[in-house]
Amino acid sequence: MGITVAKLTDAKVDAGAELAAKLGQPAVVVYFASPKHDPETLAAAVAATFPSATTFGCTTAGEIASGAMTKGAIVAMGFGADVVSRAEVALVERVKESVDGINRAFGAWETKLGQKMLDLDPERWIGLVLVDGLSGAEERVMDRLGDLTNVIFIGGSAGDDVEFKQTVVAAGGHVASDAAVLVLLECPNGFDVIKTQSFHATRNFLVPTAVDKAVREVIEFNGKPAAAAYAEALGVKPEDLPEQFMAHPLGLMIGGEPFVRSPQQVIGTAIRFYCGVDEGMKLAVLESTGIVEDTAAALDGALKRNPGAKGLLNFNCILRTLELDAKGQADAYGKVFADIPTVGFSTYGEEYMGHINQTATMVLFR
């Protein structure tokens, strides 16, 4: 069967019937949908339509389907058993207060698999993670996953059409906020992970010397008030700093590649970020490049490494989407994925080796 995709833009359609017509009879179904489509009704419809499949999804701040970016739609991907031979899914609730539910989920998986999560082959198994994008729990979720397995978990934080009121994740017919969906996929032909962000590092670095981790705020950089130090590094006045955030976020450099930390707002003399920043973390001041060109190059390289690839999941930061919209490049970005079956969504943060921003994290299935 391989991989099939669906895009539904009519809110009045019978989602279950339309998805069945477009996806066939897959072993696994992942879907991403605008909150304009009632999440509970949609989850129930998808679970009922594909009773023998593993189904999961979340709400979005915009969707991606092969060749196009959309708003207000439902997009879905179906995996045949030849691409995903086994799938396990768990809904972990109340992640704001504790991520101990991950231990229980992994324990249940280990019983089913007859194998420890730490012993799974990371070349054959991939993890997907969808998190309530307003929970603030992504760092804890990703840290716990990294402690418990060598399998890579990649994904995104659920959105709500940039309303910032409620985001929802779903597994089977069950939906929840303050929750994370964990998915474990066995891919007999393998996969490739793509991480791309459109920035390069400048020669300026900022080191947080006082932080409030609970609210993702940096109080001081380099021993100075955070806003003043950041503005000085960019050569602008502190009052003009917010205008620079989109083009000049910060990056933790690993192997010469930035893992982006995006500032959200100035609060007094402090700066609140969209993801966690640790005290003592050396952060490069970044400068933006071209999203469309950089993404096309990253995907082209991955496709050359993986001839005959079957499909792509794309978790694309809402900040990238907003920049594409502002520059009139949304259509061009969508067309980057015209030649490979693709679904994805605009996220409130991306998961890959932690929680990051202004990035696209993607999985290419062989």
Which of 8-17, 69-78, 132-141 is least confident? 8-17
Shared-domain flag, residues 15 and 141: yes
Shared-domain flag, residues 34 and 147: yes
Residue 258: C-alpha distances to residues 28, 156, 225, 253, 336 (Å):
33, 18, 24, 5, 22
In this structure, the chain runs to a length of 366
Domain end: 258, 288, 318, which one?
A: 288
pLDDT, tens only, 20-44: 999 999 999 999 999 999 999 999 9
Shared-domain flag, residues 29 and 145: yes
Domain end: 241, 267, 288, which one?
A: 288
- pLDDT, averaged across the chain: 96
Report d(CA 271, CA 30) in Å as an integer: 36
Give me the number of domains the chain comprises.
2
Shared-domain flag, residues 54 and 164: yes
Shared-domain flag, residues 54 and 111: yes
pLDDT, tens only, 64-114: 998 999 999 999 999 999 999 999 999 999 999 999 999 999 999 999 999
Angle at Cα 101 formed by Cα 96 and Cα 103, nearest 5°? 130
Shared-domain flag, residues 54 and 141: yes
Q: Which domain holds residue 240?
A: 199-288
Shared-domain flag, residues 228 and 258: yes
- Report whether 46 contacts 16 (CB < 8 A): yes
Shared-domain flag, residues 25 and 164: yes
pLDDT at res. 266: 96
pLDDT at res. 1: 76
Domain end: 225, 260, 288, which one?
A: 288
DSSP secondary structure letter of residue 246: T
Shared-domain flag, residues 204 and 189: no
Shared-domain flag, residues 135 and 215: no
Residue 136's H or E segment, with its range, is: none
Shared-domain flag, residues 328 and 229: no
Shared-domain flag, residues 153 and 230: no
